[in-house]
Chains A and B, each alone.
Chain A
Amino acid sequence: SAVISQKPSRDICQRGTSLTIQCQVDSQVTMMFWYRQQPGQSLTLIATANQGSEATYESGFVIDKFPISRPNLTFSTLTVSNMSPEDSSIYLCSVSYSGANVLTFGAGSRLTVL
């Protein structure tokens, strides 16, 4: 299965600032996704990162708040913009291969907003 590296692994940020999280995969993957896991909660899909085009966002998530890039088949970024304490969460990158709906997750980026 894919090896996924996320950076940063954790960060503490000030309210009103933005942070970009990077996701690097060791092989080309068909699909890349970004999930949010709020403290003690389950996993919620933010968006699908589409290579070469705009991401597809789930209900409740918008591009202005969570801009996503995917310049190639192995790399994606998620930016959390204009952060507030409610954005304190673990943000997880996940991937799957064509024809297989098995999801593999990265270790996550734990974000704390003060």
Chain B
Amino acid sequence: GENVEQHPSTLSVQEGDSAVIKCTYSDSASNYFPWYKQELGKGPQLIIDIRSNVGEKKDQRIAVTLNKTAKHFSLHITETQPEDSAVYFCAATSGTYKYIFGTGTRLKVLA
């Protein structure tokens, strides 16, 4: 069945450095790729998303890139801050309600 692999499972960076989280999807029909941030005790919050007709999208310190040929998409966070510490989930969907979520990346930004 469809699946989404996410790496790394944990990531520690120094404050101010960049962080990159990568996901690979299996369903070639996938056309929408959101990223969620989940802080302790809270539900996942959408932080950025990308559709299959776009290769890159940026929103301030956050960017997402998509390589449809390789079925890869990545989250890039620049100038990391302690408040970026959270668990990040990628997901893929083929335009239906059914999301396939990655296994999550616990990001720690060290002050």
Q: Interface on A for B, CB 8 Å cutoff?
A: 1, 4, 31, 33, 41-45, 48, 92, 96, 101-108, 110
**B44 with A43: CB separation less than 8 A:** yes
The one of A92, A96, A101 in contact with B43, judged by C-beta atoms closer than 8 angstroms, is A92
Quick check: A48 and B97 within 8 Å, CB to CB? yes
- Minimum CB–CB distance from B51 to chain A (whole Å) comes to 10
CA distance A1 to B102 in the complex (A): 23
The answer, among B46, B89, B97, for a CB contact under 8 Å with A42, is B89
Where the two chains meet, the residues of B that have a C-beta atom closer than 8 Å to any C-beta of A are 32, 34, 36, 41-46, 49, 89, 93, 95-99, 101-104
Closest Cβ of chain A to B31, distance in Å, is 9
Interface pairs A-B: 6 shortest CB-CB: A105-B43, A107-B43, A42-B101, A43-B101, A108-B43, A105-B44
A101 touches B96 (CB 8 A): yes
* Given known A-B contacts A101-B95, A102-B34, A108 and B101 have beta carbons under 8 A apart: no
Distance A45 CA – B36 CA, assembled complex (angstroms): 16
User: Can you report 9 residue pairs joining A to B where beta carbons are below 8 Å apart?
Assistant: A41-B103, A41-B104, A42-B102, A43-B89, A102-B34, A102-B46, A103-B97, A103-B99, A105-B44
Q: Which residues of A contact B45 (CB under 8 A)?
A: 105
Contact A108 B42 (CB under 8 A): yes
Q: A101-B32, A104-B46 are in contact. Are A42 and B99 (CB under 8 A)?
A: no
Give the Cβ gap from A105 to chain B, nearest Cβ, in Å: 4
Chain B's closest residue to A90 (CB) is: B43
* Across-interface contacts of A41 in B (CB, < 8 A): 103-104
**A84 CA to B62 CA, complexed, in Å:** 41
From A103, which residue of chain B is reached at the shortest CB distance?
Answer: B99
Which chain A positions have C-beta within 8 A of B32? Answer: 101
A43→B101 CA distance, assembly (Å): 6
Q: Which of B42, B95, B97 contacts A107 (CB 8 A)?
A: B42
